Amino acid sequence: MLKRLCTLPAIVLPLALTPVLASPAAASPLWNGDTSGGTGVFGTLDCDAPAHTGVVFDDEHGHGDVWKFDKPSGSPRCEARNIRVGSSAYQFRNDSTYYLGWSSAVSTTTGAFVTFQWKSYPNGSQNYPVLMEVRNGDVRLFHVAPGGTWNLIWSAPVTAWLYNDFALGIHTSDTATGGWIELYFNGTRQTFSNGSTRYTGRTWDGDNEPKWGAYDSDDPANAEINYIDGLKAGTSYADVAP
């Protein structure tokens, strides 16, 4: 005799829910100054012959193609001025936050020459509210106040032909206390002479644009070469972090 089998309704057990974690948003720089874009990535060049800007393959120091800013003896400067986004020179604005990132190796650390300027156009009352120079074995960051008072806010030792990473944050303001500066050196946020990781001051002086390279108008007899890699601009540190 066959027994009748009862078919029970299927019971669907809920699957264990696995949380899906959102991936962090990828950094999206405002500008990438990679050498593959040619000198058209810059607004313009301030590098009159015999000074020269070009691209070199720097495998000797652990890099690939890098920008070479070559300021020979007798030339006051070899710099790139501003950035180009699309087909237009970028217009930086007051009351805005920008981060600029790059890696740099210089041919000499003796004497004194400027490697970065947050340059005022026209000259304004500060000329360059933020300025970086190499002097006698150190890289130095200055805030230049109205009237031309240079305030040394940070320094660190550097070695010729050794690359260092810089990420400079600037919040622009034409008031004495509205602007600020931040600096990351080789990936570490730096503390300034005021004991803070931000230095407050006036950082907008008419119109300002970044300049990279080598500038030594006080003693143009000195020859300097600045290799620069990883140029980026953005609105956060993540945009330009090395």
The per-residue pLDDT of the chain, averaged, comes to 91
- Measured in Å, how far apart are the chain's first and last C-alpha atoms? 81
Residue 207 pairs with which residues in a beta bridge?
A: 121
pLDDT for 27: 65
Q: Which of 98, 51, 52, 110 is nearest to 75 (CA)?
A: 51
- Beta-strand ranges (E) seen in the chain are 31-32, 42-46, 52-57, 65-71, 77-85, 88-89, 97-106, 112-121, 130-135, 138-145, 149-157, 164-171, 179-185, 188-189, 199-201, 207-215, 224-234
The mean per-residue pLDDT over the stretch 24-52 comes to 90
Least confident residue range of 41-45, 120-124, 152-156, 207-211: 120-124
How confident is the model over 188-228, as pLDDT tens digits? Answer: 999 999 999 999 999 999 999 999 999 998 888 999 999 99
pLDDT for 7: 40
Q: How far apart are CA 186 and CA 189, in angstroms?
A: 9
Domain 41-240, CATH 1.10.565.10 — does that match? no
Q: List the chain domain ranges.
A: 41-240
The mean per-residue pLDDT over the stretch 65-71 comes to 99
pLDDT for 105: 98
